[in-house]
Copies of this chain bind each other. A is one copy, B any other.
């Protein structure tokens, strides 16, 4: 629960094709439901009229802030729209990198919202510049948008453009694209690094990063977009499904989606996030049983695994902490002499549930170890006799190339100490990380292979076609 060093996922996307003109409002609801995936910027682009006109409002801030004060009403009515929540703060010129990104080219306009990380963005940028394309911002998304626009122009067709552009893009991308032709496209990279799913409602079709957003907006979850799949919707109806070439790398769905990123009420590639976390706890209890009195999870992301641990171990589940929901990320602790106990303002132990007990504490990860040490300290102050830490992900030691923003490799505790060293540093009586096999087993209902590079470091990517190759 190291907030600062914790892996950070970048972005959420949402798109709808309807037979009514309320697309922007629905997308707004979708963005609210996906706010947990990115809180630094938000935007909506709507296709209006019959001439392929695209209007866009986007800015830094939460969706509810960007679209407050009537700005949502300033978007024109339209049947097709996409939206985006942004996480990353990279780039000095944040405002220009907020999505959706619009590109106008010879034959029309497209708007794009993208979740992922393009590993060959620099090369694509250079290649496109060689083709005479200019750039006004600094983001990957402008590169992808320009690339697709370039291919659209060459082929005279948005879908063809997308299908020609895709094989030249390396890395992780789950994206929704608004075409001047009135069509909405959803595309997921061949490895399927980031989730993307679709749903059907009385007025049309929606695509979302997570299924929770479909349900919140009144759509019934239909299925996931498969890795390498491109789905086209028009006037509310899915009109085409097609596939990109199979992946030429060993990547897969980022397993951290199940460990930490996704909302527990989402189902990703056939696997319920809630159930995956529950299973992680279950397996942790098998891999690292311990004689204890009670199990508790670190809110919010350790809760479900704690339930699983409790059920498997037969130990009672207790609420160990109350989380203060009014303390935002920008909080600065005002009293110097008490900075050590700052974590207590965010998490206060429920003494009644802890006192005199041997506690199993379930959390999703340890990054630098500082916060874990403080949380364990709180339990001991609250009278815990023993604290046994169980972590629902393996130690991660390697950087992620596909959109997860981790601390520098050097600061990761798993690179600075062995298991016993970590245990001592965080002050636990025992420590158990789930095995990679255990983690994969917990998520085994998932129909897509996993990327576990951050645990193993093995990279298996195969280079893509050059953008200039025709």
Q: Can you report 29 residue pairs joining A to B where beta carbons are below 8 Å apart?
A: A22-B336, A24-B334, A28-B334, A29-B338, A32-B345, A33-B324, A63-B326, A64-B326, A101-B136, A103-B136, A129-B153, A133-B133, A134-B150, A136-B136, A136-B137, A136-B145, A215-B349, A216-B324, A216-B345, A218-B344, A264-B319, A264-B322, A265-B348, A265-B350, A267-B351, A274-B353, A307-B317, A307-B319, A317-B317
**Interface pick from A54-62, A182-190, A367-375, A389-397:** A54-62
Q: Is A239 an interface residue (CB 8 A)?
A: no
Q: Is A286 an interface residue (CB 8 A)?
A: no
Residues from chain B with Cβ under 8 Å of A216 in the complex? 324, 344-345, 348
Asked, given contacts A101-B136, A104-B134, A322-B263, whether A56 binds B351 with beta carbons under 8 Å apart, the answer is no
Which A residues between 1 and 34 are near B, CB-CB below 8 angstroms? 20, 22, 24-26, 28-29, 32-33
A161-187 CB mask vs B (1 if < 8 Å, else 0) is 000000000000000000000000000
Given A29-B333, A132-B150, 4 further pairs, Cβ under 8 A:
A104-B135, A133-B133, A217-B338, A263-B322
In the complex, A272 Cα to B322 Cα: how many Å?
Answer: 13
Write the chain B residue with the least CB distance to A95.
Answer: B95
Residues from chain B with Cβ under 8 Å of A63 in the complex? 326
- Is A129 a contact of B105 with CB atoms below 8 Å? yes
- Is B104 a contact of A55 with CB atoms below 8 Å? no
Interface size class of chain A, counting residues whose CB lies under 8 Å from the partner chain: 35 or more
Write the chain B residue with the least CB distance to A321.
Answer: B265
Residues from chain B with Cβ under 8 Å of A344 in the complex? 215-216, 218
CB distance from A266 to the nearest CB of B (A): 9
Which A residues between 28 and 76 are near B, CB-CB below 8 angstroms? 28-29, 32-33, 35-36, 39, 55-57, 59, 62-64, 72, 74
Residues from chain B with Cβ under 8 Å of A62 in the complex? 326
Q: Which of A136, A274, A351 has the most chain B CB atoms inside 10 A of its CB?
A: A136
Partner of A32, one of B26, B327, B338, B353: B327
- Is B134 a contact of A351 with CB atoms below 8 Å? no
Q: Is A417 an interface residue (CB 8 A)?
A: no
How many protomers of this protein does the assembly include?
4
Nearest 10 Cβ contacts at the A-B interface: A106-B129, A25-B334, A25-B335, A35-B326, A265-B322, A104-B135, A272-B352, A105-B134, A103-B134, A265-B350
Residues from chain B with Cβ under 8 Å of A352 in the complex? 267, 272, 274-275
Q: Is A467 an interface residue (CB 8 A)?
A: no
In the complex, A215 Cα to B355 Cα: how many Å?
Answer: 15
Residues from chain B with Cβ under 8 Å of A104 in the complex? 129, 134-136
- Is A319 a contact of B134 with CB atoms below 8 Å? no
Which A residues between 309 and 329 are near B, CB-CB below 8 angstroms? 317, 319, 321-322, 324-328
Residues from chain B with Cβ under 8 Å of A217 in the complex? 338, 345
Residues from chain B with Cβ under 8 Å of A203 in the complex? 337
- Is A322 a contact of B134 with CB atoms below 8 Å? no
Residues from chain B with Cβ under 8 Å of A321 in the complex? 265
